[in-house]
Amino acid sequence: METKDLSRIALGTFLIAAGISHLTFARKEFQAQVPEWVPLNKDDTVIYSGIAEILLGTATIIAPEKYRKTMGKIVAVFFTAVLPGNIAQYKNRRDSFGLNTDNQRFARLFMQVPLVTWALKSTD
């Protein structure tokens, strides 16, 4: 198995694990990241995004080779789409996931770049 395939499978597994955490033990933590302007209930938003992550992770792992690049782009867009949640957590000074200082919450904003890169490189 190629390194790229291992990376893609690891990405899918990461997404599935994150999705499961949305639905179970980390629901309250994720609610802190839901921006106020989202028109849905915070818990519903966390549940829907968790389901999306599980589906994206599964699709990333099992997608036939000809669709992997497209899956990588979709996952990259998803990682970009959740950035407003990270910005809301920083802007509103909401503690979650051990991020309890402005500096920690600010640093978290830059984690989307490696996630987007991972999605694109592991599926290209």
Tracing tokens 């099992």 back to the chain, one arrives at 62
pTM: 0.93
**Helix, strand, or coil (residue 1):** coil
Residues 96, 29: contact at Cβ < 8 Å?
A: yes
Whole-number pLDDT of residue 82: 93
Tracing tokens 């036939």 back to the chain, one arrives at 64
Residues of the chain with pLDDT under 70: none
Whole-number pLDDT of residue 15: 98
Whole-number pLDDT of residue 105: 94
Whole-number pLDDT of residue 98: 87
Among 37, 33, 45, 114, smallest CA distance to 80 is for 114
What are 96's strand-pairing partners?
99
How far, in Å, CA of 3 to CA of 116, rounded?
Answer: 18
Sorted by where each begins, the domain ranges of the chain are 3-121
Whole-number pLDDT of residue 76: 98
